[in-house]
Every structure is written in C-alpha cells, then in structure tokens.
Structure 1
Amino acid sequence: MQYESEATQFLTQLKTERPHLENEQKKGRSLLWDKQLDRKLQEDFKQAKVAQKPYVYQNK
C-alpha cells in the first residue's frame, strides 16, 4: 500500500462523492483565464511598461 496524505485522501473522497465538481471547476476557470489575448492590447502594455530600478527600497 502506498502512502497518501490526509489532503490527498480528502480530495479523492470529495471527487468520488461529487463527480461533477471537476467540470464545475473547469467552467469557473474558463470564465477568468481561458480567453483570447488581444495582441494590440498586449503590445500597448509592453510599450507602457516602466523599468523597475534594481534596488526598489533605495531613495536615490
């Protein structure tokens, strides 16, 4: 028998009890993250980027 942590056991049990849970997670993720990138907007962000100083806490 292979060792499984309590967290792994909990997640395995949860997915067994609620098989639809993973599909709901994927739907939620797609709402926030799985979007087409606007190349023009990305280029504008890149041009507007301000270089950070190497020592951000130094006053000079």
Structure 2
Amino acid sequence: MPFFQRKHYTSEATDFINDLKKQRPTLDAEQRAGRALLWDKKVDRDAWSDYDAGEIKQKPYVYQTDAS
C-alpha cells in the first residue's frame, strides 16, 4: 500500500456530481443533447474555403485616420 494513499476518499465535488446523477438519471443524455445543438455539427469545408477566399484584409491601423 502506498504511503500517501487515502482509503475510500472522494472529494465534495465528486460526491455532489454523483448525487446529482442519482437524482437526475437522464443528466448525461441531456448534456449530450445540449452539446449536439451547438458543437457537434458537420463542417462544410467548401463553404469555409469560399468564405476565406472572399475575406478582405484589415488595414493595420484601423482607428487612425488618413487626414494629415
């Protein structure tokens, strides 16, 4: 047995998450559904390449006027 090992220790955060999952068994599925709304999307590479090709480069000093 290692010298610094604690037997059966769980942090308060782990206890909270485990209790929350016991109270709401559908929590994992709800999180996956929420993630799918914003993040898990198929990327259209052709559309992105067209977007990048049409981008206009910004001037280095945006807030400086040309008036002398």
Q: TM-score, normalised by structure 1?
A: 0.66
Count of aligned pairs: 50
RMSD over aligned Cα atoms: 2.0
Q: Which has the higher contact order (CA 8 A, sep 6+)?
A: 1
In proportion to residue count, which structure has more helix?
1
Extract unaligned runs of 5+ from structure 2: 1-6, 58-68
- Measured against aligned partners, the alpha-carbon deviations of 1:2-58 in whole angstroms (never above 9, x if no partner) come to 21110000000100111011111110100001110010233246555x7xxxxxxxx
Bigger radius of gyration, 1 or 2? 2
Extract unaligned runs of 5+ from structure 1: 51-60
| Identity value in percent | 47
Moved over 3 A (4+): 44-48
- CA–CA separation in structure 2 for the residues paired with 1:9 and 1:16: 11
Q: TM-score, normalised by structure 2?
A: 0.59
